[in-house]
Amino acid sequence: MGRDIVSLVALFAVALAIDPMWTLTALVGVPLLVTPMMLVQRYIRRKMRQNRQIASLRTTRIDEVIHGINAVKLNRMEDYQSERFGRIVDLIRKGQIKMAAMGAVIPALVDIITGLGFVGVLALGGTEVTEGTRSIGDFMSFFTAIALAFQPLRRLGGLAGTWQTAAASLERIYEILDMRPAIVSGARIEPPASTEIELRDVRLAYDGHPVLQGLSFTAEAGKTTALVGPSGAGKSTVFNLLTRMVDPASGQVLLGGLPVSDYALPVLRDQFSTVSQDAALFDETLRENILLGQVAEEAAVRRAISAAHVVDFVDVLPQGLDTPAGPRGSALSGGQRQRIAIARAILRDAPILLLDEATSALDAASERLVQQALDTLSAGRTTLVIAHRLSTIRQADKIVVIEAGRVVEEGTHDQLMEKGGAYAALVRLQFGK
Ligand SMILES: Nc1ncnc2c1ncn2[C@@H]1O[C@H](COP(=O)(O)OP(=O)(O)OP(=O)(O)O)[C@@H](O)[C@H]1O
Ligand SMILES: [Mg+2]
């Protein structure tokens, strides 16, 4: 741009010095370029913005298909997925072609307008030279200057399209850079005074669809509280509220008497050991998957993996704990992944334990063993447990029954059974007792 602009200024200065009238004639058509150029620029920018959005959809599709490759094969979705993907690629290709075509309009217009300018100069200057009012030398110098200006002008015209493409891409980059996180860390760096948990009239909706509708309960410090209820009732959501994966629309989530949003996020999250429904494993060794960046003594690691019965499958591996877990832990079975998650929680040794179907992927024998380890871990520790198995729930100090985002009953197993309400019905229905 710099070089072309300097060339243009110098060349037009020369042209003006030779003959202002000729220069004017050569340039008379240039204002005609302004409107089409603006229109084309706007068009390219809009198209580019659309294209970028479609391209992000393409990335999502690739990600889905690659991670769900087994589901694609098992359900024989190959053609369906190819077609779905093909449609997106097609849209992108058409968009690119339209943009390229529109981008070529500007240099073409520059060619036409400057061409017409040349004709004008030839006519005007030619007449003056034949009439003898100007010398042929002047005319040739002028013509050379204008001819030399032609290429830089053309290049600058072409740049307008490139500029718009880049601007549209930049817009999307800045959209992301300017995003503010929905969860803002609190300022309090002192850990909570106690581990008592209380939810007060908590409401939460996803896209207008209510999930929690005035949920209130307390979980006493040092006690085990079980959350029970049908699938989709909002049990896992309670855990997400406590660890601030999501904030409530209204109501309060209190830890040690203060709103969880008061605490700095690292301080808050350090209070919890979580074993969730979907343990995320990383493409690292088993040891690193258990340590998760912490430093721990070998003896502590051994204790954790024996309690979680990770040893059962690790010790037979030639590389032991240094075996890679594979991408997303794909080298492990579902039950093995769950045991790794439990070993993590044991090693982490946080004041509050959140167990979301922590043993659901284990067979009856391993479950009993792992459950014992979890019982030891939760003894004297504030524990919230979500489980569908009666054996886990009935030992809880308190059972909170959640239905459609509200607490419908609470009490001990015996109290609730005696009451013969929702819990008793659930037990009969789910556990056949
Ligand atoms: N990120 C999300 N976006 C939209 N809806 C969500 C999201 N997370 C949860 N939900 C919805 O919130 C409701 C409660 O979900 P939650 O995971 O708390 O259920 P749950 O009680 O743990 O069920 P389950 O026993 O099946 O694990 C569900 O209807 C679910 O569809
Ligand atoms: Mg759940």
Q: Are residues 252 and 293 in the same domain?
A: yes
CB of 133 sitting under 6 A from ligand 1: no
Cβ atoms of residues 301 and 290 within 8 Å: yes
Residue 183 in domain: no
What ranges make up the beta strands (E) of 128-263? 197-206, 209-219, 224-228, 250-255, 258-259
**What is the pLDDT at residue 390?**
77
Among 177, 205, 224, the domain-final residue is 177
Q: Which ligand is nearest to the CA of 211?
A: 1
* 117 assigned to some structural domain: yes
Q: Is 234 a pocket residue for ligand 1 (Cβ < 6 Å)?
A: yes
- Domain-located, residue 402: yes
| Structure-block tokens of residue 10 | 């110098």
Round to whole Å and give the CA distance between 407 and 419. Answer: 15
**Separation of alpha carbons 186 and 259, rounded Å:** 10
Q: Which residue's C-alpha comes closest to atom 31 of ligand 1?
A: 232
CATH number, position 91: 1.20.1560.10
CA distance 301 to 284: 16
Half-sphere exposure of 105 (CA within 13 A, CB side): 18
In-domain check, residue 184: no
Quick one: 166 and 59 in the same domain?
A: yes
Residues 233, 265 share a domain: yes
- CA 95 – CA 83 distance, rounded (Å): 18
Joined together, the tokens standing for residue 47 give 């198209």
pLDDT at 291: 92
CATH code (residue 262): 3.40.50.300
The per-residue pLDDT for 10 is 94
Residue 281, domain member (yes or no): yes
Query: Which ligand neighbours the alpha carbon of 404 most closely?
Result: 1
Ligand 1 within 6 A of CB of 206: yes
pLDDT, position 286 = 93
Selection from 231, 250, 238 nearest residue 274 by Cα: 238
Distance 211 CA to ligand 1 centre (A): 7
The residue with tokens 């300022």 is: 187
Q: Residues of the chain with pLDDT > 70: what percent?
A: 99
Distance 397 CA to ligand 2 centre (A): 21
Give me the amino acid identity at 332.
L
Give residue 274 CA to ligand 2 midpoint distance, Å.
13
- Ligand 1 touching residue 329 (CB < 6 A): no
pLDDT (0 to 100) of residue 431 = 63
Return the ligand 1 atom nearest residue 229 CA: 21
pLDDT value of residue 361 = 76
- Is 182 within the bounds of a domain? no
Residues 203 and 149 in one domain: no
Total domains in the chain come to 2
Is residue 182 in contact with ligand 1, taking CB distance under 6 Å? Answer: no
Determine the pLDDT at residue 333: 84
Domain that holds residue 206: 197-431
- Rounded to whole angstroms, how far apart are CA atoms 148 and 15? 11
Looking at the CA of residue 238, tell me the nearest atom of ligand 1. 18
pLDDT in tens, 198-234: 999 999 999 889 999 999 999 999 999 999 988 899 9
**340 touches 286 (CB < 8 A):** yes
Short-list 336, 417, 341, 416, CA closest to 374: 341
Neighbours of 242 (CB within 10 A): 23
Give the residue from 51, 31, 177 showing the smallest Cα distance to 103: 51
Distance 206 CA to ligand 1 centre (A): 9
295 and 161 in a common domain = no
Say whether both 138 and 252 belong to one domain. no
- Pocket lining: 343 vs ligand 1, CB cutoff 6 Å: no
Residue 425 lies in a domain: yes
Whether residues 209 and 173 share a domain: the answer is no
Q: What is the whole-number distance in angstroms between the Cα of residue 165 and the centre of ligand 1?
A: 40
SS3 at position 217 = strand
Atom of ligand 1 nearest to the CA of 277: 27
Ligand 1 atom, smallest distance to 246 CA: 1
Which residue positions in the chain have pLDDT lower than 50? none
Between the CA of 273 and the centroid of ligand 1 the distance, in Å, is 20
Q: Quick one: residue 284, left, alpha or beta (phi over 0 = left, psi -120 to 50 = alpha)?
A: beta
Residue whose Cα lies nearest atom 10 of ligand 1: it is 206
Residues 110 and 247 placed together within one structural domain of the fold: no
* Residue 329 alpha carbon to ligand 2 centre in Å: 21
* Cβ contacts of 151 within 8 Å, gap of 6 or more: none
Establish whether residue 237 lines the binding site of ligand 1, counting it when its CB lies within 6 angstroms of any ligand atom: yes
Q: What's the pLDDT score for residue 368?
A: 81
Within 10 angstroms of residue 73's Cβ, the number of other Cβ atoms is 10
Helices assigned H by DSSP within 282-406: 286-291, 298-307, 311-314, 334-348, 364-378, 390-394
Q: Are residues 293 and 339 in the same domain?
A: yes
Q: Which atom of ligand 1 has the smallest separation from the CA of 227?
A: 21
What is the predicted pLDDT for the residue at 49? 87
Distances (CA, A) of 63 to 70, 80, 151, 429: 13, 16, 45, 39
Co-location of 6 and 141 in the same domain:
yes
